[in-house]
Chain A
């Protein structure tokens, strides 16, 4: 879909609002996410960043406004239907299948790409087995990419926090999404883990052409890797533009200084 500014946007959020009782989590928020780019959403705690992601991925239904993916409205679709459309997601507070190992988590990530139904899974040999093996190969490529080779059979609940975040990224990637929503993928990581994660995000965007919407508090990282940035404050979008534009925006400076004091 051609936008006035010449961008081809994969995701359009238009005038979206969400209230929880008296709390305005989002108020008339609009963003255009350009295809194949890294789009960051920043803002102080409680600004409404996660709520916006929850509306995009179908966990919250917007009170007002519209969300369109690939030019088609996805308002009112269930999270699993949105996943089928090609939107992947990781959570701020990791949502892995903790009892399952890395491999099982990633195979589950490919659920939408697989076809086996109840009856053919009873039989297994033949079609189902071929499908399992084919998808296992794809998962192994991902395991290589994320350097999780030694941890294939490790229960994810027992992994270090940074590794869990990486496995969750892997599970989302396994579905080969067009659009990937990452909610604070680097939070709570040490410097080395952060650098790894930054490289993965850049590689995903470059090598796979996946569009990425990234929520992140680390300004250094955000300014470094984002193509565009939207700034939320108390549920409202206060700025939107390239890193340089956002950095120079007086409202942004005020919001961040205000939040710090």
Chain B
């Protein structure tokens, strides 16, 4: 790492600020892209493709929440409500606006859902100027229920009694994405976009300002950061990501329904950030993967071994309960033992190999 410490040239600052300062990291990213964009959609079966699609969608929302929670230090228990804002905004737009006999295309519906969620997020973020911690948690919790209630009780938004709006599959210039692998690539594309956007955000001026507010708000003010403005930015950015997540869920399931966006979903996303690692992009990805895949693992394990020691008819119920027990337990374990989450473990492994075989 000597070369990073001593370069005095412009090119080296650019290199130093790069996301991937080492060639091996670039190769690893290339390998991962190859794996996730070509190998997996080609070889994985429908079931695993669908699970990975859910991970990809969750990554977008979890990144948004981590920008608010991990990077800016502002809590939100209403993240799922912003997803519902995105989903219902997009659902109404695509079903009401037709262009040449087709529903409004996703590349318009998606940003529209994100922007609407960001606007609502701005409003919900206003209390963050005055209240912190538990009080902000309660304010955002209230937002979760108020938004849910409004959507449910406004037929013009929710599409009537069942509060569900069905939509067509996403289409791009006549190519309708019906197959599992097509949907997988569709959501994966936005997950990658979200990862790049979030990574860029946190390494530039705005991201630094957010972390400054989290660490030391007095010092942030004295160096000229408008704390209120940047807290609102954080809420808007986080809600935008949530809104886009909601639209992705809508396209993935072909339906927008409030049941997908209830308080437990908000908790799931908090768990992704905490278990993955607060204030870490890589950690967020781990967290999303972990939270989506954990129930799958529990189910597989229980279905294989459960029948040996319990009545198989109880299994579905036990599996559901186990999931909750694991979530709660893991959140507590990580909060107490490893607040930096899975990302810390990853860093430890990486640092070990970075100097390998010369450990000093």
Q: Do A and B assemble together? A: yes
Contact (A140, B205) CB under 8 Å given A97-B211, A108-B223, A121-B200: no
- What's the Cα separation between A96 and B215 when bound, in Å? 9
Question: Is A89's CB within 8 Å of the partner chain B?
Answer: yes
CB pair A117–B206 under 8 Å, yes or no, is: yes
- What's the Cα separation between A57 and B221 when bound, in Å? 10
CB pair A121–B222 under 8 Å, yes or no, is: no
CB pair A79–B222 under 8 Å, yes or no, is: yes
Q: List the B side residues contacting A160 at CB < 8 Å.
A: none
User: When the two chains form the complex, which single residue of B14, B200, B203, B224 contacts A111, counting CB atoms closer than 8 Å?
Assistant: B224
CB-CB contacts below 8 Å: A99-139 with B: 99-100, 104, 107-109, 111-112, 114-118, 121-124, 128-129, 131-133, 136-137
Number of B residues with CB within 8 Å of any CB on chain A: 34
Chain A: minimal CB distance from B34 (Å)? 22
CB pair A96–B216 under 8 Å, yes or no, is: yes
User: When the two chains form the complex, which single residue of A83, A96, A124, A137 contacts B200, counting CB atoms closer than 8 Å?
Assistant: A124
CB pair A133–B215 under 8 Å, yes or no, is: no
Select the stretch in B94-102, B139-147, B225-233, B283-291 that faces chain A.
Answer: B225-233
CB pair A108–B212 under 8 Å, yes or no, is: yes
Question: Is B13's CB within 8 Å of the partner chain A?
Answer: yes
Chain B: minimal CB distance from A184 (Å)? 16
Q: List the A side residues contacting B200 at CB < 8 Å.
A: 121-124, 128
CB-CB contacts below 8 Å: B1-59 with A: 5, 8, 10, 13-14, 16-17
Question: Is A166's CB within 8 Å of the partner chain B?
Answer: no
Question: Is A23's CB within 8 Å of the partner chain B?
Answer: no
Contact (A100, B209) CB under 8 Å given A78-B221, A80-B225, A109-B223: no
Chain B: minimal CB distance from A115 (Å)? 8
Question: Is A231's CB within 8 Å of the partner chain B?
Answer: no
Question: Is A217's CB within 8 Å of the partner chain B?
Answer: no
Chain A: minimal CB distance from B20 (Å)? 13
Contact (A132, B216) CB under 8 Å given A83-B222, A118-B237, A175-B223: no
User: When the two chains form the complex, which single residue of B17, B216, B233 contacts A118, counting CB atoms closer than 8 Å?
Assistant: B233
User: When the two chains form the complex, which single residue of B17, B208, B212, B222 contacts A57, counting CB atoms closer than 8 Å?
Assistant: B222
Interface residues of B (CB under 8 A from A): 5, 8, 10, 13-14, 16-17, 197, 200-201, 203-209, 211-212, 215-216, 218-227, 233, 236-237
Chain B: minimal CB distance from A137 (Å)? 7
The A contact surface, by secondary structure, is helix
Shortest Cβ distance from A96 into B: residue: B219
CB pair B14–A112 under 8 Å, yes or no, is: no
Total number of residue pairs linking A and B with CB closer than 8 Å: 113
Most buried by A among B201, B219, B227, B236: B219
Q: List the B side residues contacting A108 at CB < 8 Å.
A: 208-209, 212, 223, 225
Most buried by B among A80, A104, A117, A129: A80
Q: List the A side residues contacting B203 at CB < 8 Å.
A: 124
Question: Is A152's CB within 8 Å of the partner chain B?
Answer: yes
User: When the two chains form the complex, which single residue of B13, B223, B233 contacts A140, counting CB atoms closer than 8 Å?
Assistant: B13
Chain B: minimal CB distance from A39 (Å)? 19
- What's the Cα separation between A40 and B96 when bound, in Å? 69
Number of A residues with CB within 8 Å of any CB on chain B: 46
| Nearest 10 interchain pairs by C-beta | A83-B224, A124-B200, A112-B224, A95-B219, A79-B221, A121-B204, A122-B197, A116-B205, A136-B13, A97-B215
- What's the Cα separation between A13 and B232 when bound, in Å? 34
- What's the Cα separation between A131 and B200 when bound, in Å? 13
- What's the Cα separation between A89 and B211 when bound, in Å? 20
Contact (A133, B13) CB under 8 Å given A97-B212, A107-B208, A121-B206: yes
Taking A59-B221, A129-B14 as given, write out 14 further A-B residue pairs in contact, using a Cβ cutoff of 8 Å, ordered by the A residue number: A58-B221, A78-B226, A100-B215, A104-B208, A111-B208, A116-B205, A117-B206, A121-B207, A133-B10, A137-B10, A150-B5, A152-B5, A172-B222, A172-B223
Shortest Cβ distance from B18 into A: residue: A129
In the assembled complex, 9 residue pairs joining A and B whose CB atoms fall closer than 8 Å, in A order, are A78-B221, A79-B221, A80-B222, A83-B223, A95-B216, A97-B211, A111-B212, A122-B201, A133-B17
Q: List the A side residues contacting B206 at CB < 8 Å.
A: 116-118, 121
Chain A: minimal CB distance from B214 (Å)? 9
CB pair A97–B216 under 8 Å, yes or no, is: yes
Question: Is A84's CB within 8 Å of the partner chain B?
Answer: yes
- What's the Cα separation between A218 and B66 when bound, in Å? 46
Q: List the B side residues contacting A131 at CB < 8 Å.
A: 205
CB pair B14–A133 under 8 Å, yes or no, is: yes
Q: List the A side residues contacting B14 at CB < 8 Å.
A: 129, 133
- What's the Cα separation between A98 and B5 when bound, in Å? 21
Most buried by B among A100, A108, A114, A137: A108
